[in-house]
């Protein structure tokens, strides 16, 4: 079974600056940690790295940091951090990103932004620059922001957009599960009417605070499949964000006070949950686990950078030439 994880994070607080890491997440999650979280039986296992929300000044450095580890870790694409509402600064930033062939898309993390930003003139103008360069856009939003993303998708039909984490619906916990709300079902379905919109089966364990069951989350997968069809869905682990929660049974390193901790098997459990669900429903498993993400991010055909467009050293050379 081949697996292309469409949503993987890496970070190192000693190498880059983050303001949001806390608790069990405020540690290094990179080379060694990922090797210990590999999926048994996945051959091959590749990943698309999604920006981990460093401070904006580190966005290009993050790309450089990940690119240097990509070959060893099986990373075949990078979704880079960006601010799309910065006018000429956005364009300059995009030019810097285009110097790295592994960059396949961008993400301006919208979940903490004011409502309406995604449909503002400045944001849409920046997004058109993304589309013009053949890059994709990852939309990370709260459930109540889904209508904005629907309008955004309609405003730029030439831009390929993928919704992270099914729009972050409220899912409850294993002991107190919540059913999909009519509002979320409606808004997800409205977004799916735009053929340039796709959706990641990712992040739901994180929305449950790491306290989840397959039975609890499968209804949300069913809604996504009904809305988008299997051909516009892709599996993502959201590692390591979605592997923090109550200690797993038998964990010898479980905190004595019962506080949240790293769950060593959570990435595998989420993959197993989606595989079992797809098998039971008769869905195309290879499409969900590999083909759709490969086609969306075009990872099978790395971007070619003409020699007169960027230095041979890629983003490293661009950084040297554009920082005083």
3-state helix, strand, coil in the chain (%, to 5): 45, 15, 40
Token pair recorded at residue 258: 């019962």
Closest CA to 302 of 75, 92, 130: 75
H/E stretch holding 320: helix 315-322
Token pair recorded at residue 94: 């995009």
H/E stretch holding 103: strand 103-107
Q: What is the pTM of this model?
A: 0.93
How wide is the angle at C-alpha 11 spanned by C-alphas 10 and 13, nearest 5°? Answer: 170
- Which parts of the chain have pLDDT scores under 50? 307-324
> How far lies 240's CA from each of 86, 128, 158, 285, in Å?
30, 31, 32, 23
Q: Which CATH superfamily is domain 3-322 in?
A: Metal-dependent hydrolases (3.20.20.140)
The per-residue pLDDT for 301 is 80
Q: Give the full edge-to-edge strand order of the sheet including 233-235.
A: 3-8, 45-50, 75-81, 103-107, 136-139, 161-163, 197-201, 233-235
The per-residue pLDDT for 305 is 61
How many other β-carbons are positioned within 10 Å of the β-carbon of residue 176? Answer: 9
Token pair recorded at residue 71: 């070959």
The per-residue pLDDT for 70 is 98
Domain regions of the chain by residue span = 3-322
């Amino acid at each position: 079974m081949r697996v292309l994880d469409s949503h993987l994070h890496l970070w190192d607080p000693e190498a880059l600056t983050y303001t949001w890491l806390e608790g069990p997440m405020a540690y290094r999650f990179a080379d060694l940690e990922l090797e210990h979280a590999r999926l048994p039986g996945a051959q091959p296992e590749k990943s698309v790295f999604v920006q981990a929300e460093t401070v904006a000044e580190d966005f290009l450095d993050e790309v450089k940091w990940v690119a240097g580890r990509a070959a060893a870790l099986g990373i075949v694409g990078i979704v880079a951090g960006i601010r799309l509402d910065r006018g000429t600064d956005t364009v300059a930033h995009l030019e810097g990103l285009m110097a790295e062939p592994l960059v396949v898309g961008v993400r301006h993390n919208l979940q903490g932004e004011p409502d309406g930003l995604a449909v503002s003139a400045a944001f849409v103008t920046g997004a058109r620059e993304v589309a013009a360069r053949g890059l994709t856009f990852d939309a990370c939003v709260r459930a109540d922001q889904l209508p904005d993303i629907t309008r955004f998708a309609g405003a730029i039909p030439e831009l390929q957009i993928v919704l992270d984490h099914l729009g972050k619906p409220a899912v409850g916990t294993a002991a107190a599960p919540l059913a999909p709300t009519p509002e979320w079902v409606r808004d997800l379905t409205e977004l799916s009417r735009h053929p340039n919109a796709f959706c990641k089966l990712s992040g739901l364990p994180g929305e449950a605070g790491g306290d989840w069951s397959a039975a609890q989350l499968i209804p949300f997968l069913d809604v996504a499949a009904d809305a988008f069809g299997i051909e516009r869905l892709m599996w993502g682990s959201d590692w390591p964000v979605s592997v923090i929660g109550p200690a797993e049974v038998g964990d010898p390193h479980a905190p004595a006070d019962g506080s949240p901790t790293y769950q060593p098997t959570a990435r595998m459990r989420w993959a197993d949950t989606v595989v079992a669900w797809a098998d039971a429903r008769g869905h195309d498993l290879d499409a969900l686990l590999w083909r759709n993400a490969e086609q969306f991010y075009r990872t099978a055909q790395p971007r070619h950078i003409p020699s007169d467009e960027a230095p041979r050293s890629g983003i490293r050379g661009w950084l040297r030439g554009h920082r005083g």
